[in-house]
Chain A
C-alpha cells in the first residue's frame, strides 16, 4: 500500500504525471507557470521520468507540440493557466477536433488587465466550449487522483478526447497538503499503457487535420459531440473502478449537508473547503443551508445537478468569473439552464466572488445566504442577473 506524505498540490500533479508514465510533456515557462512543469523537467533531467520534455517558445506551441506527440501515440501532458491558456485557445479546439487524449492541468487564474496572476476561473470559462472534458478539483488529493483518472478517461477508445483538471491558482496550487500516495504498482494496475487507435506513422500513412468542407464538417462535429456526451458513462465507470482500487469515491456533483436544506450554496474548486465551514456555522445557528460542488464541468452533469438541488427553495451560485453583461456567472447560467425545463425548481441567484485572487471569506457565504433569504421573502433583487459580492461602494 502507498504512504501518507505532505506535498504541494502542484508537485502532486507532477507526481501523478510521473506515475502515469507520461511519454511527452510540452511546456513554456510563461508567467505564471507553476511548479508542475518545473518539477516534471527536473524529473526528466534526473532520469526519474522517461519522457520527452519539449521546451517550446509559447503556449500556442506547447499545445501544438502536445497535439503532435499525442498523434504519434504518446501519453501526453501539459500544464498552464491564465494568459497561457488563452494563448493556447486555437490549439485547444484542434486537440479535441483531432480526438487527441492530451491531459492538461489548468492552474486557474484571472485575466489581465489590470495585470493579475492571482486565482479565479476566468481563464477556463473562456475555454469552456473547446470540447475538452473538464474537472474542478477541491483538494490536492483530488488533483492527484483526477490527473490519473483523466488519462484513463481521455484514452478510453469510447472517448478519445482531451481532458483538463482545474485547480485554483495559489489557494490550491501552492498549498502543501497531506496526500495518500499510492504505490507505482497500484497506478500501473489501474492505468495500463495507452493503446492508440490511429497514429501518425510513416510506414502506415494517414492524414490528420485535413480540410473539412461544409458537406462533412457538421457530421464530424456531431461525432465529436457524441464522444463528449458518451464520455459521461465512461467517467462514472472509471470513478467506480477508482473507488474499488483506492477507496476514494468520486461523483460529478458533491453534496454536503443538503438533506432538508432550503438554501444551497453552489461553487466549484478549492473554495468549497471554506464553504463547508460556513455551512456548519450557519447550521449551528439553525439555518437550513447546504453545499453543492461542481466537480465535472464538461460533459455537464444534468441529472446529478438536478437531483442535487431538488427540494431546495433557493440556490446561491458563487462564480469566480464575471461574464460581462451576460445572464450571470457561468456556473449559475448553466445551472439555470439545467433547471429550466423542470416544473418545480428553486430560485437561482448569481453571485460573483473571489475575482483576481480576492479572498473568499466566511462572511461572503453568510452574505449570499442572507441575500438568498431576502430574495425568498421579498422577491427578486434589482440586479437579478448577477451581483458582485464584497465590492467597496
Chain B
C-alpha cells in the first residue's frame, strides 16, 4: 500500500488541495456509531431545513419529495440534526440495530 502512494516530490507544495470540493470523495460514514433516522411524517410542512443548515458534514440532501435525507456515506452520526430538529422528526439509532 505505502509503495503505491506518492513520494514527497509528487505532492503539491504544502499539501495544498488544488481540486475544489474533493472532500466529497472522502467517505467518513464508517466513523459513525449511531445513524439519524427521519420520520418524514413529523417533518414540518415548511421543511425548515435546520438539519441541513446545522449538519457539519453537509451530509443532508433534498430528496424528490423535498425532505432532507441523509447521505450515509458522509454522515458521522454526530446527532446535531436530531438535536436541532424542532418537531423531533429525527432520532438517532445505534448502528447494527
Partner-B contacts on A (CB < 8 A): 97-99, 160, 197-198, 205-208, 210, 212, 215-216, 218-220, 222-224, 226
**B41 at interface (Cβ–Cβ under 8 A)?**
no
The answer to whether residues A99 and B13 also contact, given A219-B7, A223-B8 and a CB cut-off of 8 A, is yes
Known: A216-B15, A222-B8. 8 other contacts (CB 8 A): A197-B13, A207-B16, A210-B15, A215-B2, A218-B8, A219-B11, A220-B11, A220-B14
Bound Cα distance A218, B18 (Å): 20
- Closest Cβ neighbor of B7 among chain A residues: A219
B25 to chain A, nearest CB (A): 13
Q: In the complex where A220-B11, A223-B11 touch, is A215 in contact with B17 (Cβ < 8 A)?
A: no
Task: Give the complex CA separation of A223 and B5 in angstroms.
Answer: 15
Q: Are B17 and A223 in contact (CB under 8 A)?
A: no
> Given A205-B20, A206-B20, is A219 in contact with B14 using a C-beta cutoff of 8 Å?
no
Docked complex Cα distance between A390 and B1 (Å) = 60
List chain A residues, Cβ under 8 A from B16. Answer: 198, 206-208
Q: Is the CB of B6 within 8 A of A223?
A: no
Residue numbers in B under 8 Å from A197 (CB-CB):
13
Can you list 24 contacts pairing A with B, beta carbon distance less than 8 Å? A97-B14, A99-B13, A99-B14, A198-B16, A198-B18, A206-B16, A206-B17, A206-B20, A207-B16, A207-B20, A207-B22, A208-B14, A208-B16, A210-B15, A210-B17, A219-B6, A219-B11, A220-B8, A220-B15, A223-B8, A223-B9, A223-B11, A223-B14, A224-B14
Q: Is the interface of B mostly helix, strand, loop or mixed?
A: loop
Evaluate contact between A98 and B14: CB separation under 8 angstroms.
yes
Separation of A267 and B73 alpha carbons in the complex (Å): 60
Interface residues of B (CB under 8 A from A): 2, 5-9, 11-18, 20, 22
Q: Which chain A residues lie closer than 8 Å to B14 at the CB level?
A: 97-99, 208, 220, 223-224
Least Cβ–Cβ distance between A201 and chain B, in angstroms: 11
CA A219 to CA B16, docked complex, whole Å: 13
- Report B-chain residues with C-beta under 8 Å of the C-beta of A208: 14, 16
CB distance from B28 to the nearest CB of A (A): 11
Determine whether the beta carbon of A223 is less than 8 Å from that of B2.
no
Bound CA–CA A325/B92 (angstroms)? 55
Report the 10 A-B pairs with minimum CB-CB distance, sorted nearest first: A207-B17, A219-B8, A205-B20, A222-B8, A99-B14, A220-B15, A98-B14, A223-B8, A206-B18, A208-B16
Contact of B13 (CB < 8 Å), options: A198, A216, A218, A222: A198
- Interface-centre pick from A208, A223, A226 (highest chain B CB count, 10 A): A223
A98: chain B residues at CB < 8 Å are 14
- A residues less than 8 Å from B12 (CB atoms): 198
Chain A residues with Cβ below 8 Å from B22 are: 207
- In the complex, the answer to whether A215 meets B8 with C-beta atoms within 8 Å is no
Q: How far is the CB of A258 from chain B (nearest CB, A)?
A: 39
Interface centre among B9, B12, B14, B18 (most CB of A within 10 A): B14
Q: How far is the CA of A99 from the CA of B13 in the complex (A)?
A: 8
Give the CA-CA distance A266 to B63 in the complex, in Å. 72
Which A residues are CB-close (under 8 A) to B20?
A: 205-207
Whether the Cβ atoms of A212 and B15 lie closer than 8 Å is yes
Q: Collect the chain A residues with CB atoms within 8 Å of residue B2's CB.
A: 215
Q: Which residue of A lies closest to B1 (CB)?
A: A215
